Structure formats: structure tokens, C-alpha cells
Chain A
Amino acid sequence: MTSSTNTSRRRRWWVPVIVVAVVLALIVGVIGAVAATHGPARSEPTGTIATARVDGREIAVVVYKGDTFPHLDLLRIESMGFSTQAEAFDLETGRRVWDTMLFAEFGGTEAEVLGMGSAYVYVRSAEGLLILDAATGEIVAREAEIDGLGDDYIAAIDAYAWDATTRSVVLLDANGRVLSIPADGLAAADAPAEVVERWRSVLNTRSESGSVFSHDAWEQVDHRAPMPNGETVAPVWAAAGWDIDVLLEDGTGLAAGWRDGFAVTQTYQPNSSEAYYFFQVGDLATGELVGTVEGESSASAVTVSDTGRVVLLSDNDTYQGLLIVASANGIRSSVIGERTLLGW
């Protein structure tokens, strides 16, 4: 009798363990089913790219809106999976250098990278200005923490801009003063008179707030590759398609990559089952095709780095942003905001 009772008790000890194990298995099963039946975490890059040489390597920084729903994501529960992040890529290898969460609000917070030096990255947002360490991505100062600005900052993306001439951030404070922060600086101070003149009537005067999450580069294309001597080169390397465009440098209007003897084309493939756009690098001297990557949307934020690499944005068929890097040696794409299976 005693032995039977003990055996019965021993069996009952297993019951809660089994119940807990079943519950855990169900949780793991649900997570696994979500991961298996849904695409990877989505990412939507904003329309600007900043490039600079940091710690001996050239990197590009882009800000993007991430959406990990419905994957398990304990970092973004309150925002239902949404966040706004800044991510840096090594332009040589295409690998991620760092990825920093800037905001975790439902729907994503409007933000974009303004510019960078070798030490700091500057991001403007609807909440104010953020300064990140260019090597680690750590947020060094944000909004009211910025020296010389403090509580006089304006929570409006249009109150901040990048002055390419002086390589500095220009900003308007709540008192109507135009301030500037030079590249690799951390403190705001009264901007030089010529900078004030350039930006005084521009900052924070946008009549309607538009989203920075939708940019394209249709004003930066031509059907032939313009060269500095006035000649143009036909993109004979480009795949046959409905439309073939050569991507141009911002400012000069010349073919992006011409200094290093190459050009980048985007070809619209309306009947393609795999991608709507082919991005291809061609040798301007020989007309030979150097490399090809695919994307679902046309190029945006076409940028030429200090070393002559052409960097641009597109996306793939799983709604992930792509950072595409082209050089005379080839072309490579990296997924922006790539997460692990569980959305982390």
C-alpha cells in the first residue's frame, strides 16, 4: 500500500513538468510557425546615404524604418515591431559594421542621415538631431543633450540640414537663431554669416511634412553616360529591357563612377519573374559588363564616396531595403536591417 502510494506520488510529480514542457513547446511551435510562414523582418531605408573613412575603412550609413511584426521581438513590443534604426556597412566587404536603434515607436519615426565625418554621424529626425559615434554607432548626444542647443532644440526634421560647402550641420533653434556643428564636432554654435545667409529662410519652413521614407533618383538618370568633355557613352553593357538609365552624380550631372572609368545602369525589366530592375556596372572604355545585382525598385539616394564607389538604395522582393555598392571591380548588394529567424 505504501509502495503504491509513493509510486503514485512520483508519477504525479511529472504532471506539472509535462504541462510546462507542453506549454513551452507550444510557444516555441507558434514562434517557429510564424518564422516559417512569414517573410523576414522588413526594412525601408530613408533617402540619404552618408559615407566616410572611419578607422581605416570606408563605411556608409543609412537610416531605415524596421518592421519585425509578427516575429517575436522583445525589443519592440510597445511599438508592435516598428523601429527607426541607423546602420553602417563596410563598403569594401558589404558587411554590417553596426546597427543602432534610434526610435521605437509604432509606424516609425521620420529620420534620415544628414552627413558624417570620420568620428561622428549626424541624423536629423522629427524628434530633433542625433549624433552617433561613427565607429560604434553609439548615440553620443541626442536632442536636448547637444551642447550649445539644449532645450532650445526644435522637434522638426526640417529644422536641420547639411551644408555641403562647409561640411557642417546647420540648424534652427527655438529662438530663431541659425547654428552650426562642423563635421566631427559635438557642440552647436552661431553659424558663420554666409551659412546663416544660405539657410536662414530655408530651415523649418517646409509647409507640409513629407515622409523621408520615399525617395527616388529619377532626376539623376540619363539614357547615355555624360562625360566631362561633353561626350556621352552608350551603355552597351546593359541588359536589354524596357528602359535603360545611367545613374548620375548629384551636382555634376555626369555619370556616377566616371572618374574610375565605370558607370552604373538600372534596367527596368517589366516581364521579369525575379526582379524588376537590374543594376549593372559597365566599363566605360570597353563597354564590357562588370557585374549585376537585382532589385525590386529603382535606385534612390545615389551617392559617390570619397574613394569613387557609387552607393545607392533599392529593395528586394521580401520588402527589405538594399544597399548597393558599385565600383570598377564589381557590384554588391547588402540587405538593410537584416534580422535573425526570430526577428532579432
Chain B
Amino acid sequence: MVIKRIGIGLVGLLVVAFIAVFFVVPGPLISTAARTGQGMLFAEIDGRDAVVIAYDDDGYSGFGFFNPWDLGGRITALDLDTGETIWNRGLGDDEPAFLTRMLAAGENYAYLRTTFGFLVISLADGSTVATEDDFSDAVDFADLTTEVAFSPSQNAIMIGAEDAPVRKIALDTLEVVDVDAATSDTWSCVVAWNGHGYAESDTEAVTVDQLPTGGEVLGFGVPSGSAPGTPGKRLSRLNDDGSGRSVGGAIFVDPGFVAQSVAVEPSPGACPHAQWDDDVFPGGRTIAVPLGTADGYGVVDHAQSARTDDRQISVVDAASGEVLGSSPAEGGLFDAAIAPSGQSVVIVDRFLPGVLPSWGTTPVTASVLLISPEGSMREIVLAPHGWLGLPW
């Protein structure tokens, strides 16, 4: 009898454990975890200034029994003024697309490169207008030697492929056309496999030590009388001799001004004789443009305190040093850009564990900070998941 009871007890335990593991435990552990693609695009959609962002939704969504939400690569358009989602769709028709690289946006179309090919997206609703199959007569986008880059001066996506001349797709068109000899001499080595093309990491956000604004230059300095290694720094108005005057009383630990890393166009006609990157990009591939300089504010990336590496983004008034707003960014700065309409967009990595923090979750997720020309900040968390993996 004893053995019988033990046996029944063990079977019961296994059944309970099975139900718990597959149906109960996942709920609290479901997490929000998204990673944005490289770059972001700006467009006017239905009269609204919008930022278009692609992301991979990697959040743990339980075992998928109850989750109708498409995971994988997605793309969304956010209203820059209100933060509202204008549209949000899965990327790719037949198979999901990941690690999206945002190339450029015209008035009607956005052009993207993903691990699964080349996509053209309608800015009106996020639907896929064309895939690489639609260009297969002209370009083999599946070939790893095919490289693409955006040229602002040509207002086109420049395309290079092994043993093929440079071609382009003008924005808002779906036609691949040849370029003239001069344009080819400028771009052939930039869109060449293993050539002098834009490095992907060069287009991510950077921080700079100084913020030029209103005819002055702001920086950070150790409060007077403190040891050089004091972690907290004050916003300072820098003089020509390198000295500075404190602006406001706020203290920032390990600070830097957030800047957009803007790609520079290649030197005209440099490719035929180029041996080094400097021959094509004499001043470097990118220039750093600090956010807020035109509007009198600075965006500061700093540690939350001297006791942690967790980061924070704060907007400070350049004239008074007043902190206009702050948002946690535990995982740090990821990307930043200035919209043509004047708003700044900063993408950071947040730490958002599931309902119950657990080692089973992946708590780092992308969050979008929309900063108005007045310096007010609004946070939009991408791809949140609630109980059973459903969107919040």
C-alpha cells in the first residue's frame, strides 16, 4: 500500500509539474524584449510627422499556446508629437525579417535591408510594396556581394554588385537604373563588397564632450575643490582658455552629450584611385551632430549615480542648466537622430523584467524617447508583452 501511495503521489506530482511548467510559470516570466534595427527614418504620414523604426520582437512569450501576436521583425511608425502608433506591421510576407537596416525614406516609400533581403515599405500603412524578388531581373539582392547605401545628393539607393556596374533606385520609385560614369566613380568602391562602404557601427549614436549652442560651448567639469576623479560633473560654460563656469546645480555622473552620427557622402570621383578609406572619406565617414543645439537644449547620457553603471537620459536647458526631463536607460544609448521637423529621437536599452523578475527572462528592451523642440520628453516602449504573451 505504501508503494502504491508513493507511486500515485509521484504521478500526481509529475502532472502538476507539467501543468505548472507549460501553463502557469510562463505567465509571470513573459518579458518585453525588442531590439531596433540600424537607423531610423522620418516621414510625413497623413499630415503627421512620424519616425519609422524597425525592430525585432524577441520577448519571451511563454510557449506560444495563447500568443497570436507575430514575433520576429516588425516595423512601426510613431507620431513624433503625440507618440501614438500610426501603424505597426510584421516585416516580410512569407518569412520574418530580422536585423533591419533602415536605408532611406521618400514621401511614399521606405527602403530597408534585412537579413532576408531588400524591402520597400509603404509609408501610408507599413505594407510591403516590393521585395527583392521584384528586382530580381536587375539586381540579385540575395547575393552577399550586393551592397547598398543611401546617397542624399542622388536622392537614391545606390546598389553595387560583383561584376556589375553601379545602379540606383531613386526614392519613391521601384525601378533600378544605371548611373553615369562620374557617379559610378564616386560610389563603386563604397557599395563594393569589402570596399570602403559605410561601417554599420558608424551610424549608431555617439556622445560628445562639448555642446555648441547659442554662440557658446557647454561641457562638463568637476565641481570646484573636488578631486579630479570625482564622478559627478556639473554642466559648465566653457571659456576659450579651457576654464569653465558652472551652469545650474545638477550633477551628472560619467556624462556626455548625445549626438547623431551622420554619414558623410564619399569624395566625388575618388573610387578609381582609392586605396584607403581616407581616400574616399577624407574627414571620416561620419560627423557627430549633438541633439538640441538648434533649440537650446542638450541631451545628456549619464550614469544614474556613482553606485551603478545603469544609464539615464536627461534633457537639460542650455541656458539655465535646469533638467527638463529624465528617463532611465539602464542598458545605455543605442541610436539617436534629429527629425527634419525639429524633434529629436533617442533609442535606448531599458531593463524591463517580466511580472516576476527571473533568470528565465530577457529583460533588456528597446525604448524610444521622443524629445520636442521645447525639450519635453516622451517614452515609448517597443513590443510590450503582458500575461500569456499578449500585447499590453
A→B interface (CB under 8 Å):
9-10, 13-17, 20, 77-78, 128, 143-144, 151-156, 158-159, 172, 174-178, 200-205
Interface residue? B359 (CB, 8 A): yes
- What residues on B are CB-neighbors of A176 within 8 Å? 222-223, 225-227, 229-230, 232
- What residues on B are CB-neighbors of A14 within 8 Å? 3, 7
Q: Judging by beta carbons under 8 Å apart, are B222 and A154 in contact?
A: no
Q: Other CB < 8 Å A-B pairs besides A155-B307, A174-B307, 6 of them?
A: A14-B7, A15-B7, A16-B7, A128-B307, A153-B307, A174-B306
Q: Which of B8, B225, B227, B228 has the most CB of A within 10 A?
A: B227
- What residues on B are CB-neighbors of A151 within 8 Å? 307
CA–CA, A265 and B113, complex, Å:
60
CA–CA, A128 and B307, complex, Å:
8
- What residues on B are CB-neighbors of A175 within 8 Å? 226, 230, 232
Give the Cβ gap from B109 to chain A, nearest Cβ, in Å. Answer: 43
Contact of B308 among A155, A158, A177, A203 (CB under 8 A): A155
Q: Judging by beta carbons under 8 Å apart, are A20 and B10 in contact?
A: yes
Give the Cβ gap from B246 to chain A, nearest Cβ, in Å. Answer: 14
Q: Judging by beta carbons under 8 Å apart, are A174 and B7 in contact?
A: no
- What residues on B are CB-neighbors of A178 within 8 Å? 227
Q: Which of A16, A17, A78, A205 has the most CB of B within 10 A?
A: A16
CA–CA, A193 and B384, complex, Å:
54
Interface residue? B6 (CB, 8 A): yes
The SS class assigned to the B binding surface is: loop
Q: Judging by beta carbons under 8 Å apart, are A174 and B231 in contact?
A: yes
CA–CA, A154 and B307, complex, Å:
5
CA–CA, A155 and B305, complex, Å:
9
- What residues on A are CB-neighbors of B307 within 8 Å? 128, 143-144, 151, 153-155, 174
Give the Cβ gap from A177 to chain B, nearest Cβ, in Å. Answer: 8
Give the Cβ gap from B220 to chain A, nearest Cβ, in Å. Answer: 14
Q: Mark B203-238, 1 if CB is under 8 A from A, else 0.
A: 000000000000000000011011111111000000
Q: Judging by beta carbons under 8 Å apart, are A17 and B232 in contact?
A: no
Interface residue? B4 (CB, 8 A): yes
Offer 7 A-B interface pairs, CB within 8 angstroms, sorted by A: A14-B7, A20-B10, A78-B359, A159-B229, A174-B306, A204-B227, A204-B229
Q: Which residue of A lies closest to B226 (CB)?
A: A176
CA–CA, A17 and B309, complex, Å:
51
Q: Judging by beta carbons under 8 Å apart, are A13 and B7 in contact?
A: yes
- What residues on B are CB-neighbors of A159 within 8 Å? 229, 231
Q: Which residue of B lies closest to A9 (CB)?
A: B4
Q: Judging by beta carbons under 8 Å apart, are B230 and A77 in contact?
A: no
Give the Cβ gap from A227 to chain B, nearest Cβ, in Å. Answer: 40
Within 8 A of A (CB), among B1-60: 3-4, 6-8, 10-11, 14
- What residues on A are CB-neighbors of B228 within 8 Å? 200-201, 205
Give the Cβ gap from B104 to chain A, nearest Cβ, in Å. Answer: 36
Q: Judging by beta carbons under 8 Å apart, are B6 and A17 in contact?
A: yes
- What residues on B are CB-neighbors of A174 within 8 Å? 230-232, 253, 305-307
Contact of B10 among A17, A143, A153, A200 (CB under 8 A): A17
- What residues on A are CB-neighbors of B6 within 8 Å? 17
Give the Cβ gap from B152 to chain A, nearest Cβ, in Å. Answer: 36
CA–CA, A17 and B6, complex, Å:
8
Contact status of A17 and B3, CB under 8 A, knowing A151-B307, A155-B306, A174-B232? yes
CA–CA, A77 and B3, complex, Å:
34
Contact status of A77 and B359, CB under 8 A, knowing A13-B4, A14-B3, A176-B222? yes
Q: Which residue of A lies closest to B223 (CB)?
A: A176
Contact of B227 among A16, A158, A203 (CB under 8 A): A203
Contact of A201 among B227, B231, B306 (CB under 8 A): B227
Q: Which residue of B lies closest to A199 (CB)?
A: B227
- What residues on B are CB-neighbors of A77 within 8 Å? 359
Give the Cβ gap from B306 to chain A, nearest Cβ, in Å. Answer: 4
Q: Judging by beta carbons under 8 Å apart, are B227 and A172 in contact?
A: yes
- What residues on B are CB-neighbors of A204 within 8 Å? 227, 229-231
Q: Which residue of A lies closest to B306 (CB)?
A: A174
